[in-house]
A = this chain, B = another copy of it.
Amino acid sequence: MYKRITAAVLSAFAMGSSAMAADINVDELRSLANNLFKPIPTADVVVKEKGLTQEQIDLGRWLWFEPRLSKSHIITCNTCHSVGTGGADNIPTSVGHGWQHGPRNSPTVLNAVFNVAQFWDGRAADLAEQAKGPVQASVEMNATPQLVEETLRSIPEYVEKFAAAFPNDKNPVSFDNMAKALEAFETTLVTPNSRMDQFLAGKDTLNDQELGGLKLFIDKGCIACHSGINFGGQNYYPFGLVKRPGADVLPEGDRGRFDVTKTASDEYVFRAAPLRNIALTAPYFHSGEVWSLEEAVALMGTSQLGTELNDTEVKAITAFLHTLTGEQPTVEYPTLPASTKDTPRPSRM
């Protein structure tokens, strides 16, 4: 089946994109796609599945926009993972405390709950573990668990809100519970009903070029790494499997998952990027050095598949990737409580 479709699509493309649809059995393609991918559920479904309470989510929303989690009091989770811009900051690598910049491009928070693990190297098992990283990283928010707890405990409204979110805890205001609440809020940041999800559900929402792109995405082998509910984010692969990209895209100093596992075979291995909403979050790759999605698609062809995708193919796959943009979450900016005399003061240093 695999080969047959490949051949059919390739010949369709040789005839030009307008001929594509005629050569594609849409029902067959949809059925194949449903075996490979999975639609994103709405936030209420995920919340129920995870057993989260509204109190936890709402506390998490406060913390998400809380600048006092950073030593400077000006950096929030949303600074690098903005809910308004595809869940990321869309600059090559994030800028943090002291205008320092980290080594890797900020991954999107949208649908991150569905990733197998967090960070480009998967060093955090879940979103709660992940949340603790940037808060403490000296090039990001540059705080400490002690500073965060002291800050939150100094503000009565937070004490109350943590107690409501974690009613069975003897000591609810903790760094661990901060992370759990952030995870609860992030769990609501899902983007259902993309055109691709509607296609999976049986609607004819993709045009000829997009259908052709989907077929190519399957046939060329992109699905080897980018499948499942997030079209990626499920496993680890060497960047430059077939041909190693230049040092601008794959800096030698960043050896990826090797730094987590210390296993030689994990050198330059990264978690395959989830591709949902990818059209919203240029620049691409862990180095954030590729600004064009078409260029990124072409580079994946050469580096991972050993295939020189032609211009029509690149454009079709890119068009298909645009169908992965879902409904963006609606988030109300929280009104945060005032500091008190006991709240630690900000420091730029």
Contact = CB atoms under 8 A, between A and B. Distances in A.
Interface of A: 65, 67, 72-74, 79, 82-86, 89-92, 95, 98-99, 101, 279-280, 282, 291-292, 328, 330-336, 338-339, 341, 345-346, 348
A84 B348 contact: no
Contact of A74 (B67, B95, B332, B341): B95
A196 to B, nearest CB: 17
Could you tell me the dominant secondary structure of chain A's interface residues? loop
A347 to B, nearest CB: 9
A333 B336 contact: no
A149 to B, nearest CB: 20
A336 B98 CA distance: 27
Given A90-B339, A91-B72, A91-B346, A330 B332 contact: yes
A101 B92 CA distance: 24
Which 6 pairs between the two chains have the least Cβ-Cβ distance? A99-B99, A328-B335, A331-B333, A91-B346, A84-B336, A280-B338
A72 B84 contact: no
17 contacts: A67-B90, A72-B91, A83-B333, A84-B336, A85-B336, A90-B339, A91-B348, A95-B348, A98-B99, A99-B348, A280-B338, A282-B338, A282-B339, A292-B341, A331-B333, A332-B332, A333-B333
Q: How many copies of this chain does the complex contain? A: 2
Nearest to A72: B95
Given A83-B333, A95-B348, 14 more contacts: A67-B82, A67-B89, A73-B91, A74-B89, A74-B91, A85-B338, A92-B346, A99-B348, A282-B339, A292-B341, A328-B335, A330-B332, A332-B332, A333-B333
A90 B337 CA distance: 12
Contact of A84 (B73, B95, B335, B346): B335
A79 B86 contact: no
Nearest to A93: B348
Contact of A79 (B74, B85, B89, B279): B74
Contacts of A72: 91, 95
A67 B89 CA distance: 9
A73 B105 CA distance: 14
Nearest to A83: B333
A233 to B, nearest CB: 20
Contacts of A339: 90, 282
A330 B291 CA distance: 35
Contacts of A84: 65, 333-336
A105 to B, nearest CB: 12
- Most B CB within 10 A of own CB, among A331, A335, A341: A335
Contacts of A83: 333
Contacts of A348: 91, 95, 99, 101
Contacts of A333: 83-84, 331-333
B86 A338 contact: yes
